[in-house]
């Protein structure tokens, strides 16, 4: 397998489809991603990475540099805010913020996600950035959509390792859990969109749990608003 930058093999862009395979449809419709995603490849080419097995893309990672003062209080509010800071802030960047790591479903469990975290770390070092931070989307949080992220992030197995598989991977490669990102990604759209995305009906105003969500959907006056929580993890470089 070999790690490449999308900027160096632009033909890969036409073939990348891992996000669609590994994340729910509704996550493809958040506002910052829609506004800036295509700009990542030109503005921050060193941080858009693909892992190839032969000619097949088996994993990919996307990230961008952001300003961060190193404190918990100074962390971005979440995924949306990190993306906005990376794209609009005039301050000098001091950390690399991960945006997404995707692994082909049939290749999960092979350590490829950990390899992509390492690739981010190497890319950050290459640009002189001392920290890698990540608004981690906990894999099993969808099973506990009504549990506050502040409690979920504290859960541990009997052996002391983290309850959540994705947070466990981050800790195994040196990551440190810092804080909850209560409002990491906001997705707001008419109910008809939500019904198409998740395959459910939302016949009246209310609070709904739906497949793939880490928190409930709030429906009011024909608009569905979903606020996804994440967990901030730091990798010191």
pLDDT value of residue 7: 86
Domain of residue 119, residue span: 2-184+230-236
Q: Does residue 202 fall inside a structural domain?
A: no
Q: Does residue 45 fall inside a structural domain?
A: yes
Q: Greater confidence, 201 or 6?
A: 201
pLDDT band at 14 (very low <50, low <70, confident <90, very high): confident
> Which CATH number does the domain housing residue 22 bear?
3.40.630.30
From residue 84, alpha-carbon distances to 25, 67, 77, 141, 227 in Å are 22, 11, 10, 25, 17
Q: Does residue 71 fall inside a structural domain?
A: yes
From residue 139, alpha-carbon distances to 142, 152, 154 in Å are 7, 11, 14
Phi, psi of 96, rounded to the nearest 5 degrees: -105, 125
Q: How many structural domains are present in the chain?
A: 1
Q: Name the pTM for this structure.
A: 0.95
pLDDT value of residue 17: 81
Burial state string for 95-125 with b = 16 or more CB within 10 A and e = fewer than 16:
bbbbbbbbbbeebbeeebbebbbbbbbebbe
Q: From the CB of residue 34, how many other CB atoms can be counted at a distance below 10 Å?
A: 10
Q: Does residue 190 fall inside a structural domain?
A: no
Q: Does residue 33 fall inside a structural domain?
A: yes
Digit-coded pLDDT (tens) for 39-97? 999 999 999 999 999 989 999 999 999 999 999 999 999 999 999 999 999 999 999 99
Rounded CA-CA distance 28/197 in Å is 10
Q: Does residue 203 fall inside a structural domain?
A: no
State the pairing for strand pair 206-208/176-190: unpaired
Digit-coded pLDDT (tens) for 62-75? 999 999 999 999 99
Which residues are CB-contacts of 187 (< 8 A; sequence separation ≥ 6)? 26, 27, 29, 30, 31, 225, 226, 228
Rounded CA-CA distance 114/170 in Å is 7
* Mean pLDDT across 215-221: 98
Q: Does residue 29 fall inside a structural domain?
A: yes
Q: Does residue 50 fall inside a structural domain?
A: yes
């Amino acid at each position: 397998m070999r790690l490449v930058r999308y900027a160096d093999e632009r033909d890969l862009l036409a073939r990348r489809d891992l996000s669609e395979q590994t994340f729910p449809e509704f996550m493809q419709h958040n506002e910052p991603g829609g506004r800036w995603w295509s700009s990542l490849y030109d503005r921050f080419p060193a941080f858009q990475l693909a892992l190839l097995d032969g000619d097949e893309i088996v994993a990919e990672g996307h990230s961008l540099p952001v300003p961060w003062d190193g404190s918990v209080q100074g962390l971005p509010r979440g995924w949306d805010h990190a993306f906005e800071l990376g794209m609009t802030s005039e301050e000098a960047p001091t950390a690399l913020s991960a945006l997404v790591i995707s692994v082909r479903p049939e290749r999960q469990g092979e350590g490829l996600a950990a390899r992509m975290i390492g690739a981010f770390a190497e890319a950050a070092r290459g640009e002189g950035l001392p920290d890698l931070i990540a608004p981690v989307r906990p894999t099993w949080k969808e099973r506990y959509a009504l549990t506050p992220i502040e409690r979920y992030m504290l859960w541990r197995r009997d052996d002391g390792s983290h309850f959540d598989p994705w947070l466990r991977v981050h800790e195994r490669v040196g990551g440190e859990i810092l804080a909850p990102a209560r409002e990491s990604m906001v997705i707001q759209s008419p109910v008809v969109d939500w019904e198409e995305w998740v395959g459910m009906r939302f016949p009246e105003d209310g609070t709904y749990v739906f497949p793939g969500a880490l928190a409930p959907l709030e429906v009011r006056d024909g608009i569905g608003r979903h606020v996804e929580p994440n967990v901030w993890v730091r990798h010191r470089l």
